[in-house]
Structure 1
Amino acid sequence: MAKKTVAKKKNTNKETSDFAKYIRSFWLLFAGAILAFFSMFLLASWGLLGEMPDYTILENPKTFLATEIISSDNKTLGKFYLDDNRTPVDYNELPKNLVEALVATEDIRYYEHSGIDFRGTLRAVVKLGAGGGASTISQQLAKQLFTKQVSSNKFQRLFQKVREWVIAIRLERQYTKEEIIAMYFNIYDFGNNADGIRSASRIYFGKEPIELDLKEAAMLVGMFKNSSLYNPIPSRNPEGTKNRRNVVLNQMEKYEYINQKTEDSLRSTGLDLQFSPESHREGSATYFRAFLDKFMKDWIRENPKPNGEKYNLYNDGLKIYTTIDSRMQMHAEDAVTRHMPRLQAEFFKQNTPDRNKTAPFLELNASEIEDLMNRSMQRSERWRIMKVQGKTNEEIRESFEVPTQMSVFAWVDGKASEIDTIMKPIDSMRYYKSFLQPGMMSMDPLTGHVKAWVGGMNYRHFQYDHVNQGKRQVGSTFKPFVYATAIDQLHLSPCDTIPRQQITIEADKFGNPLPWTAKNSDGKYGGFVTLKYALAHSINTVTARLMDKVGPQPVADMARNLGVESNIPAVPAIALGTPDISVYEMVAAYSTFANKGVYNKPVMVTRIEDKNGTVLYQFVPETRDVLSDEVAYTTVKLMEGVVESGSGARLQRSWDPDSGIYKEIMTGYPYELKNPIAGKTGTTQNQSDGWFMGMVPNLVTGVWVGAEDRAAHFKSITYGQGASMALPIWGLYMKACYADEELNISQEPFERPENLSIEVDCSKVPTGTEEVVDPSDELEGVLDF
């Protein structure tokens, strides 16, 4: 019995000893795990598990910020960026429902932890991730900022996870909860160049983040799971994106951010995208942005940072405040897209191979067309690239004859479109030479601020800017410079009469080797007309007589003083607009007349700021006195006659063929402008260039329309005149601007100088014989709107 008792005690002691060993082992393992856990934290914080950001980097995380182009009405026109189209926003610019959607979906205990959600981590470990991940918003931000590349190796991924934990804790110490949320929204890539919440809001919904409604916010938060997979554009995964959005709504209902009724009402709704891709070749003011790109690169070259480094246009987050008004820019682009398809359709109709065997060219023979196409080939991007690749000229020419798959520009149902086709590059070049191009600029003459800039039809396919780069013959729009010189020198009145008969300016009179004779386009001569009538109806012989009186050099000097920088030879023929001048220069020059004779250099950029709001550049106005206010006003009154009864009359009136009179109530055109307007049409000799320059007291706008090559043009003046090619764009634009009352475009008369000594009211002055123009001539070439 005693032996059994002793044996039993030994067994009990052994069991107790074994259990104690297990307990000790457990606690040793537990302590070891804790030690290993904290050791990994310590090692990670020392950077032994991989490079760690120091506190200076944590204070200023390195992110690439796009340069933002801001309009005068504080709208984003576009951005300059290479890889990251990112413009950060503050927390107070995020709507409440967006933040709640994020917290409900990604980190419901966000406001309770300090970077690591231990409950969520334990759940993930126990369930092996089946219950969802455990990354907090802070950890996800750490990953986005500092550990983007996820390793496929489990141990490396574990070390990477520990680094994210350490960085998340540091971020929580460095920033407030609100700042971390804002940083997370700003750093995320939502796809389709939508880097950050601001770009995503604009690209997917066409609005600022603060304007997002509940279902829009839920969709964007849903994309945090995988923006490549849950991408809403039709070619990707709209249905999956919708389902993911509904998961976010369910989470918001689960955590009582919204009620069941709200969730149910939104689940079945569509995504309702307003997809507006942002790229350098798309969006608003593309030609202006291309001009601005060069402006900024020149400025950056001449203005280094305080430390001597150069600013980076694409990464430094600069803000460029421009004079462009987004509303006026929209009206200008809309006017172009309303008029150009109709004009182009007529051009195509007149230039079919059956009607014109050399279409789209006129007055060229086969060898001349071949030379033209050869020159165009050698100026092309294809030629440049293949030349860099070492190809011979013959090899390059042969490549233009090989059919290639391409997308070409076309007007389809009045809208700019692309057509996929197979075409020889040489045929695509000829095809594009058939297209008429516009150039348009609008400017406030009182300040010099450029308000709208349309350099062509479609920047994606036609990147040549017809506002600043392009220079074409200006035709009769040059005549006001001649009249202004005559008024300045001779103190002439619009009511003074002058012979309309033909005139020849003799050789050598102004240093010219040959005599020059001006002819009227209508072939009519004889009698006397007032200066106002002569300018209104572009009578060439009257302009030539004024040139004969003042001489070409003073006229050329006048144009230069008004702001024309292009070469103007001092010869009599400039009276009829032979010089090549840009739309940019012409608008600046005409603005001097509207601004009482004071020239303002056009302004496009008012200031530049760095990402912190420090002003780096502030524009300084450049002005000069060119004319007296009396001469400027008199010239303006002359140009009012163009719209009152001349080639611009269709802006205010229409011809009623039944009654044979002008009707004040507009019936033939869509403009219905009743306010005083000064302007001038211009048409070159073979109808290759159509111009209209129009002014009201606080806005001057110039429009040019023509083809790339002067040999492509309308055969007759019916459609090939400035009143048919360019004026409609001006009229549509101004009508839209007047309908937008917030723009405050003047409808008042031009201000009359107090001490005006020149008579401008011709109704009070007896005049010589004047023919009344046949209004039906002015209505030729009308395009239905």
Structure 2
Amino acid sequence: MQETTPIPLRPPPVRPAPQRTAEGARPKRKLKKLRLLLLVSVLSVLAVLSTIFGMMMAVSNELPKLEDRAQYRAARNSILFADGGKLSIAHLTDTQNRILLTSSQISPNIKNSVVAIEDQRFYQHQGVDFRGIARAVVEDVLRQKASQGASTITQQFVKNALAAQRDRTVFEKLREAALAYHLERRWSKDKILTEYINTVYFGNGAYGIESAMRTYFGQSRHYTQSDRLAANVSPDQAALLAGLIASPAAYDPVVHPIQATKRRDLVLKKMYAQHLITKAEYSHALLQAIPTRHDLRPPQPESTQPYFSSWVSQQMVQRYGPGTTFGGGLHITTTLDPEMQKAAANAIQAHLAGVGPTASAVVIDNATGGVRAMVGGNDFAHHPFNLATNGHRQPGSAIKPFILATALTHGISPDSVWTSAPKQFVFYQHGRKMIFGVHNFGNTYAGSTTLTSATAESDNSVFATIGLKVGTKKVARMGRKMGLRTRLSTNPAMVLGGLKEGVTPLEMAYAYSTIANDGVRHSGSLASGNMGPVAIEKVTDLSGHTIGTDQVRSKRVYSQYVAGEMKSLLHGVIAGGTGTHAQIAAWAGGKTGTTENYGDAWFVGFTKKYTAAVWVGYPDTLKSMAHDYGGGPVEGGTYPADIWHDLMDSILAIDASHNPGSGGSSGSGSGSYAPSGTSGGPSSTLPQTQTPQQTTPGTGTGGGTGGGQVQPQLQTPAPPPQQQPSPPQQQSPGQQVSPPSPGGGNRTPNGTGQ
């Protein structure tokens, strides 16, 4: 057999080494990665587009739900409960007060004003304004904060409707945009605008444009329930209502008239710039007055405590939106104690029934900052203005604890001696020399007195000197730190309570609770504002899931040393000063306040567990109460202290019934605080104070002057006497004071600022 030559095996091909770039990369592998990345990107884009397309097709089935009447059927009332979550005190609903209108029943001025301020490109975009989004992004980047909105009216309408149906999802933004885009292809622009105006919340319980017109402008019109006020609206009225949409609370014309006016004028300016009103209409509208509290006619709430529930519902709207608040079927547990609320109303009724003035009262739980009782008026149906939360009145001498806290913080001793005499302070305002004259109540002076005695007797002369010495700006800052929401003016007269804008009973009670808490301010995560008083304890949704629970938050305002002295000095006011009518069977401290001509009278006091503020006066005007206390004047130590006494006495009994064996813990347990200078007080550790300054005595009016930087011309006084005057004699904290005779003879003025 012939042998064949074997075929030689071919050696395996030698692959050339991969060429590397200067950076060591492999070009082919890099190319593959780029192709893969491109493929993934394309698929991702297709997936997103597919999702959006699918969502847009799916949401088309939801369009019928957006009709106003469909929202009515879907809405469920929210319920407010008292503390404990068992007793219902209010039902929050939008269907009871909302009146649905057709397009022809809504004034063109309303439609034009809403478009001008909310979405001026409403008639150009297709539901989603991409130009507006781009503009918002640029504005937000330039300002480095979210300051420019980009939602269209169509999107806002969809958002409101979905909130009312409790049907929000994790893709809510995308879903709302898809619905808005689809809605624009099903509905006309006019129908979208009409439906939107019918669903907007305008504040003060007004849901929808017809309810808003009746609430803010119905007082001066005679109409029947079948009439439609929204059909005839002037440009200034339309601009005010349109301006409320962005924030009904911030632009409330009753609570914030300056901000509301500026907002209205902005809407009018935009209407004129967009040729929606003439020059004459614009000029005329700017001159019109905005509604006052006398014009307000809000819908009657379904509530046993309408002042309190209206305040809470406003907070709920700000936190959860109007749709969820009024149609989300929420259960809201509040801080209100029904027994304390009844005690507050009874105490006021017992003293002021048949008397000219009225009263407002607020009770704060010191441990939580919770509002346990609130009397905002005596007739919500006819006087819905809430005096407790919105009644800004001059505090008189009730401002002095803020001066006291500032002075103690800056090293002024309770045992320091000051001159008590008529004084004149010189300062300059806009280059002009001004005189601020100060005198004591009844023109009675001690001559030389300690800060302890001056606090008990509410000596205007001494506190004006101290207030101007430490500085009005520091006093205002201290008030803010302690819990005042209103920014105190820094004019010289503020040291005697002569403010440019007064304070409310709610914020006074809350600020004084910081004193009761040894200088610690308590608030909560569901507070009415940043570190403010609390009204809401817990919120659950329709299915019973908790969506909000209040958590206590605390902040120290001043030192423990200052806290002890504050409580000691203010205890002296009740023990033997201007507030003896407030003595109860427990330890307590507080301060009286009376304004010039007896226009306002206050008593704000505290025990270990509770703080209460009582204001007495005429709510609709500044009217003198010179003869309303049994023929005598109403001072802080009369009706306000009497009401506070009865209220706190009842609270002691309520607390004892809730906590058997506690022995009335509302006032015990914090120690017995004697005025500084007596045995047991902390005065032995007081820091050294500088010699106080005084002014040259002279005649004064006590009325003060306007604002400006205080520059008093002070003279160096003679050295204070070596021997300190004796502190005021204390009465037993449990000693009861006899009620006044019809002529008020047993309650004579003590000669100091009350």
Output the TM-score relative to the length of structure 2: 0.50
Say which structure is richer in helix: 1
Larger radius of gyration: 1
Output the TM-score relative to the length of structure 1: 0.48
Structure with more contact order per residue of length (Cα contacts < 8 Å, sep ≥ 6)? 2
